[in-house]
Structure 1
Amino acid sequence: MSVSKEFARYVTGLAYGNMPAEVASFAKICILDWLGSALAGADKPPIQMMAQVVHELGGEKQATLLTGGRSSVTQAALVNGAASHIVELDDIHKASIIHAGTVVIPAALAIAEWKQKSGRELIEAVVAGYEVCYRIGEAVSPSHYYFWHNTATCGTFGAAVAASKLLGLCEEKIVHALGSAGTQAAGLWEFIEDGAMSKQLHPGKAAMNGILAALLADRGFTGASRILEGDRGFVRAMSQEADPERMTEGLGTTYKIMENSFKIHASCRHTHHAIDLVVEMVSRYGIAWRDVEKIRVQTYQVALTITDNPEPASVYAAKFSLQYCVALALVKGSAGLSDFTEEALHDPDIRELMRRVEVSVDPDIHARYPGKWEAAVELVLADGTTMQQHAEYPKGDPENPVTHKEIVRKFRAMAADQPQDKIDHFLDVIGRLEQVPDVTMLFAQMKGR
């Protein structure tokens, strides 16, 4: 049996009624967290550019755009997926290195709204999408991650699965949907070199392509039946050290969504371990940044490959600068959504402190990645005092979890520019999603935005 066939059998068999209550509740938290990120990102210039293109292209008014108005399901997934990725507060899975929410949820929501599906059906689709894309990401990581943005590539499969589940596709058609998803999977890291806007395009296009793959399969359009493990398939083409067996090992007995991590800092996840340590040290010891002579950060190689940038030229680039994030956390005591500003980017205190930050790879920490996203921070003070701390798991990992109250508080902060009644409406509908007969209720207050 092909991997795609095994995934298809899993997807058709997954049912809300057989799902542990904690899994369904966790899926609702993921949806709420995604929506907060999407609302916070909807007004950002790159997202507005994409929304303008979507309006120019036109399309059936099938699903809600969080930027305003409605469009086709594919274009809604494109814009909403992109919006949820730009403020760098979206969820993440360590082992697969995927921000599943930015791809799976906008695809699932668009189809669910269009087809007037229930909250339970939406939860099923989200759980299935997370499961499949995380398993594929685990199989090809970490080597895949050097060139390819896992959220974009592996996420395409998750979006296709979520859409297929909501469309009620049979096993054979889901296999074809996965085939068409895999042949569209793309997303290169080269954008990081000059801070291009491609990072937002990646999840949006992956969500869009996943829906397209499912819709085509529904019409009888065929795709490669062994797109994942085939001789010229996804795994062989896009990973140097793959472990294909991880894709289906224990399939149907686990709920990968429960391994999800949530972000509390508005920056690349590879900076969070160091930010956590700095914030904790500032709080515990009352350290003033002017008293710090040197900051040494040791972590794994991928963190430096993505975030070793001592001179970020934009607010967005600063979110991918370990030096900047550490300096910001030391000066401000936090690195939240409101901390990353043009004023802070050019703050002479932060810029001065950045020059005191040294980053390097620790071989032992590197060896434990991606199972653990670790860092060690050493502060050397002007009086010669040295302070050291180490973190195995950033705040928000399952091993270092955030509470439901913290997620709600984070959502309110991300949605702060929305009317209070709209915020309360979102919290109410998602909080009782398993009882909602029609997902269109979620966007009842978006009309005319």
Structure 2
Amino acid sequence: MSLSKQLAEYVVSLKYDDIPEDVVEFTKLCILDYFSSAIAGKDMPPIQKIEEMVEVLGGNEQASLINGGKSSVANAALLNGASSHIVEQDDIHKSSIIHAATVVIPAALAVAEWKKLDGKDLITAVVAGYEVCFRIGEAVSPSHYYYWHNTATCGTFGSAAAVAKLLDLSVEQIVHALGSAGTQAAGLWEFIEDGAMSKQLHPGKAAMNGVIAAMLAEKDFTGASKILEGRRGFFEAMSYEYDASKITAGLGSEFKIMENSFKIHASCRHTHHAMDLVSDLAKQQDLDPDAVDKIEVGTYQVAINITDDEDPQTIYQGKFSLQYCTALALVKQSGSLDTFTEENLWDETVRELMQKVEVYVDDDVDAAYPEKWGANVKVHLTNGETVELSTEYPKGDPENNVSPDELYDKFMVLAKGIDESRAEEVAENIMTLEDISDLSMLFPHNMAVK
């Protein structure tokens, strides 16, 4: 049996009533966290440009847009996916290196609203989508991640699976949907060299392409039946080292969505380990940046590949600079969205400290990646003292989790651009999602101000 067929059988067999209560509650937190980032990002320039394009493309008013109004399900998935990936606070799964919410949830939301399905249907589809993309991401990581943005590539399979569940496709149709998803899977890391807006295009297109793949499959449009393991398929073409057994190990007996992590700092996740450590140290000791002689950050190779930038020139580049993020976290004792500003980018104290940050690959930490995204940090003080710090799990990982109250607070902070009563109602609707029949009521602009 092909891997696609085994995944398809899982998607078909998954029922809401079979999902444990703790998984349902956690899935609602993932959806709440998605809206945190989507609302915070909706007015950013790249998202405005995509919105302008969506308006030009037009289409039937089928699903709500995060910015207001409605468009086609494909356009809604595109815009709503892009919007949730720009402020760098969307969720992350360690082993697959995927921000699943930004691709799976907007695709599922658009189709579920269009088809007038309810909250239970949405929850079930999201669980299915996370499961599929996490497993595919795990199979090809970490080698796939060097050139390819897993959220864009592997995420496409997740969005297709979620939509397929909502459309009640057969096993055979889901196999075709996964085939069409895989042949559209794309997203190169080269955008990071320029800080290009393509990063927002990646999840938007992955969500949109998943919608397209599933909707075509509903019409019996065929796709490759062995898109993953085929000799010219996803594994062979896009990863020099893969483990196909990770697709099916424990499939149907566990819920991988429970492995999901949430981001507290508004920067690349590969910077969070050091930010956690130095910000906590600064708070505990009221540490003066002038008392720091040098900071050594030992971490895994992928973190160096993505975030080794000694001189970021934009806020966006700063979010992908381990040196800058480490210095910022120590000086400001925070990594919130409001901390990443133009003023702080050029803050003299931060800039001076950034020059004292040295990053390198720690072999032990590297060997534990991607199951553990850790760091060993040494803060050398001018008085000759050295403070050694380490972590295997940044704040927000399941092993170092955040509470539902903390995620609610995060939502309210990131949603501060909309009326507070509307934000509170969005959160309330999401946290009682199993009782919601009109999914348009998850969007702030569809609610009346109380």
Q: TM-score, normalised by structure 1?
A: 0.99
Which amino acid is 1:38 matched to? A
Distance in 1 separating the partners of 2:190 and 2:442 = 37
Per the alignment, in what secondary structure is the counterpart of residue 377 of structure 2? strand
Percentage of matched positions with identical amino acids:
61
AA partner of residue 80 (structure 1): N
> Partner residue of 1:351?
351
The answer to whether structure 1 residue 307 and structure 2 residue 334 are counterparts is no
Cα separation, 1, equivalents of 2:448 and 2:269: 35
The RMSD of aligned alpha carbons is: 1.1
Moved more, 345-354 or 204-213: 345-354
**Is the aligned partner of 1:45 residue 2:45?**
yes
Shift in Å at residue 438 of structure 1? Answer: 2.7
Match runs of 1:55-70 below 5 Å:
55-70=55-70
Which residue pairs with 2:16 in the alignment? 16
Unaligned runs of 5+ in 2: none
In structure 1, the residue corresponding to 2:378 is in which secondary structure?
Answer: strand
Give the equivalent residue in structure 1 for 2:411: 411
* CA–CA distance in structure 1, aligned partners of residues 247 and 289 of structure 2: 46
Structure 1 match to 2:218: 218
Kindly provide the amino acid, as one letter, of the partner of residue 214 in structure 2. A
For residue 385 of structure 1, report the CA deviation from its aligned partner.
1.1
Other-structure match for 2:360: 360
Looking at structure 2, the residues matched to 14 and 220 of structure 1 have their Cα atoms a distance apart, in angstroms, of 22
Separation of aligned partners in 1, 2:191 and 2:396:
27
CA distance in 1, matches of 2:341, 2:263: 18
AA partner of residue 442 (structure 2) = L
Aligned to 2:262: 262
Aligned twin of 1:420: 420
| Distance in 2 between residues matched to 1:448 and 1:322, nearest whole Å | 43
Match of 2:139 in 1: 139
| Equivalent runs, 1:251-290 vs 2, <5 Å | 251-290=251-290
The reply to whether residue 77 of structure 1 matches residue 69 of structure 2 is: no
3-state DSSP class of the match of 2:263?
Answer: coil
Paired with 2:68 and 2:419, the residues of 1 have a C-alpha distance of 15
Question: What is the CA–CA distance in structure 2 between the aligned matches of 1:66 and 1:75, rounded to whole Å?
Answer: 11
Q: Which residue of structure 2 aligns with residue 340 of structure 1? A: 340
Secondary structure (helix, strand or coil) at the match of 2:339 reads coil
* Aligned counterpart, 1:3: 3
Deviations 1:137-160 (A, max 9, x none): 000000000000000000000000
Q: What is the match of residue 180 of structure 2?
A: 180
Corresponding residue for 2:161?
Answer: 161
Q: Residue 8 of structure 1 aligns to a residue in which SS?
A: helix
Inter-partner Cα distance in structure 1 for 2:420 and 2:393:
34
Per-residue CA deviations over 1:122-180 (Å, capped at 9, x if unaligned) read 00000000000000000000000000000000000000000110111111111100000
Q: Which residue of 1 aligns with 2:245?
A: 245
Q: Is the 8 A contact 1:273 1:391 kept in 2?
A: yes
Q: Secondary structure of the equivalent of 1:183? A: helix
Please name the residue that 2:435 is paired with. Answer: 435
Q: Which amino acid aligns with 2:223?
A: G
Runs of at least 5 residues in structure 1 that lack an aligned partner in the other structure: none
Cα deviation for residue 427 of structure 1 reads: 1.1
Q: Distance in 1 between matches of 2:223 and 2:438?
A: 31
Report the 3-state secondary structure (helix = DSSP H, G, I; strand = E; otherwise coil) of the residue aligned with 1:189. coil
Task: Give 1:439 deviation, angstroms.
Answer: 1.5
Is the Cα contact below 8 Å between 1:68 and 1:448 reproduced in 2?
A: no
CA deviation string 1:190-245 (max 9, x = no partner)? 11111111111000000000000001001110000000111110011111110011
C-alpha contact 1:277 1:390 (8 A) present in aligned 2: yes
Q: How far did residue 446 of structure 1 move?
A: 3.0
Per the alignment, residue 391 of structure 1 pairs with 391
* Residues 382-410 of structure 1: CA deviation (Å, up to 9, x unaligned): 11111010001000000000000000000
More displaced 10-residue stretch of structure 1: 387-396 or 434-443: 434-443
Question: CA-to-partner distance for each residue in 1:84-123, whole Å, 9 max, x for gaps?
Answer: 0000000000000000000000000000111111100000
User: Does the CA contact (< 8 Å) of 1:306 and 1:320 recur in 2?
Assistant: yes
Amino acid corresponding to residue 43 of structure 2 in structure 1: D
Give the letter for the 1:271 counterpart: T
- Once the two structures are superposed, the pairs formed by residues 316-331 of structure 1 within 5 Å of their partners are 316-331=316-331
Counterpart residue identity of residue 390, structure 1: S
Distance, in Å, in 2 between the alignment partners of 1:57 and 1:7 is 33
1:448: how far off? 10
SS of the aligned residue for 1:399 comes to helix
What is the distance in 2 between the residues matched to 1:4 and 1:439? 30
Distance 2:206 2:447 in 1: 26
- Offset of 1:441 from its aligned partner? 2.6
- Verify: 1:94 aligned to 2:115, yes or no: no
Write the letter of the residue equivalent to 2:111: I
TM-score (norm 2): 0.98
Cα distance in structure 1, aligned partners of 2:434 and 2:81:
23
Offset at 1:360?
A: 0.4
Question: Are 2:293 and 2:382, in contact at CA under 8 Å, matched by a contact in 1?
Answer: yes
